[in-house]
Amino acid sequence: MNDSAWARRPTDHEIREVLVAGRTQGLLGEADTAVVFHDLDLLDDRLDELVAAFPPNALHAIAIKANPLIEVLRAVVARGCGLEAASFEEVMLARAAGCPPDRIVFDSPAKSVAELRASLELGIRLNADNFDELDRIIELRPPDSTSIVGLRVNPLVGDGSIPTTSVAGAASRFGVRIDRVVDGLVPRAEAHPWIRGLHHHVGSQGIAIDAHAAAAAATAALRDRLHDALGRPQFDTVDIGGGATTDYVGEGPTEPAEFVAAVSAAAPSLFAADTVLMTEFGRAVQANCGWAASTVEYVKQSSEGDIAVLHLGADFLMRPAYQPEHWQHRFSVVDGTPGAGPPAPWIVSGPLCFAGDIVGRSVPLGAVSAGDTVVVHDVGAYTVGMWSRHCSRGIPLVLGHRRAPTGEIRFDVLRARESPEDVVRFWSADPFGHQVGSAPR
């Protein structure tokens, strides 16, 4: 039996126990027609396994965009990991979560001068997306900045199975093509020894482990060429990005040990003691830790099948709604009357007012009635963090859960439910009280 935390996710039985505990402890009220949960024990176990599989000086900067809740980020930092920021706002989230600056890496492809200046002052790690940005950094960097600076490289290993999240093909708009790095990087690195990093990211989901291995081999070979040209070893930091495959509907999880075996065989030098190897996993760490429960508000019939109407739709599951051919989730009924006979295929619809708000097709759910609770599994990544304001529904309550040694289930509020009043404030001229937009009429 595989007891890796990366192969584990909350079972329907555990989910029922958590729901009962949440109700008993008075955390779930009538307005909580949908609630999102994050299994913080599982998150800890996954991070511990990740850390254990890599060399001791590796730095795992977990991608904030996968789950930007500060309490989740705090749990990540508490395990000794760092955070990868895709915007300056995410840099601020990392700081709010107590992440030391040397464990934050800022990777956006559109960093402004002001954002670069602030990051260099804070000592945040930076990966420049291109030579123009590297030149800006050279110009802006105060001599006493502790920021370690790297260059993002496109390893050109080709696209994975999902075009919109693949970034290592020839058409990618991220990083400098690997075959054009040496000439531009050598003179800059020669003059500025603090340019010490190389970074690549292949894509998110749909990336075969062989592509990760090929990218690592390409970046390791590039580093050798750079060192030959410089006549000294300088690039001691290699950040191999994120993108380990996550198991949603049978893709199979990528376990850290398996990932390390494949990548270290292809690029052993990246695993040597003189290298700080960085990763930026997001989805593979977080997705399976999260699940969401929604009341079935109505059951309807259409010419294409029976429809269960949930309180979570394209606002929460944007990719499954807009690209169902690539993104699917498992659903189960955890609170209701299990139907007799073979599970009927259901259409699972969200609450939004457009035809495409379908988050599951041909879902085998058994009998479903209004008032039942349906669980959407594996929603711990790219869900709350991609929340859409279409139709202005409030973000549901997000609860973290852990099991005490006594067996008792304990909750942390990771984010309180947005009320209709909160949403009205959100769409007002000055939702955050900045005293702007109050010009005389």
Shortest gap between Cβ of 168 and ligand PLP (angstroms)? 11
The two three-digit tokens of residue 28, written as one number: 């779930």
- Smaller CB separation from ligand PLP, 242 or 313: 242
Burial of 428 by CB count in 10 Å (0-12 exposed, 13-18 middle, 19+ buried)? Answer: exposed
Note the residues at the interface with ligand PLP (CB under 6 A). 63, 66, 84, 107, 201, 204-205, 241-244, 280-284
- Smaller CB separation from ligand PLP, 284 or 368: 284
- Smaller CB separation from ligand PLP, 162 or 257: 162
The two three-digit tokens of residue 223, written as one number: 């580093």
Shortest gap between Cβ of 227 and ligand PLP (angstroms)? 24
Shortest gap between Cβ of 215 and ligand PLP (angstroms)? 12
The two three-digit tokens of residue 388, written as one number: 């859409």
Query: Residues with Cβ < 8 Å from 311, sequence gap 6 or more?
Result: 33, 34, 294, 295, 297, 350, 351, 393, 396
Shortest gap between Cβ of 187 and ligand PLP (angstroms)? 26
- Smaller CB separation from ligand PLP, 261 or 386: 386
Q: How many CA atoms lie within 13 A of 146 on its CB side?
A: 8
Q: What are phi and psi of 335, to 5 degrees?
A: -145, 95
Residue 92 and residue 98: Cα distance in Å, rounded? 10
| Cβ–Cβ < 8 Å for 348, 332 | no
Pairing of strands 276-279, 104-106: unpaired
Query: Residues with Cβ < 8 Å from 244, sequence gap 6 or more?
Result: 207, 212, 254, 259, 281, 283, 284
Shortest gap between Cβ of 414 and ligand PLP (angstroms)? 19
- Smaller CB separation from ligand PLP, 168 or 347: 168
Shortest gap between Cβ of 39 and ligand PLP (angstroms)? 18
Shortest gap between Cβ of 207 and ligand PLP (angstroms)? 8
Q: Which amino acid is at 52?
A: A
The two three-digit tokens of residue 98, written as one number: 């107590």
- Smaller CB separation from ligand PLP, 165 or 349: 165
Shortest gap between Cβ of 149 and ligand PLP (angstroms)? 16
- Smaller CB separation from ligand PLP, 204 or 373: 204
Q: What are phi and psi of 409, to 5 degrees?
A: -90, 125
Looking at residue 396, the DSSP 8-state letter turns out to be P
Query: The tokens 């609860």 sit on which residue?
Result: 399
- Smaller CB separation from ligand PLP, 282 or 313: 282
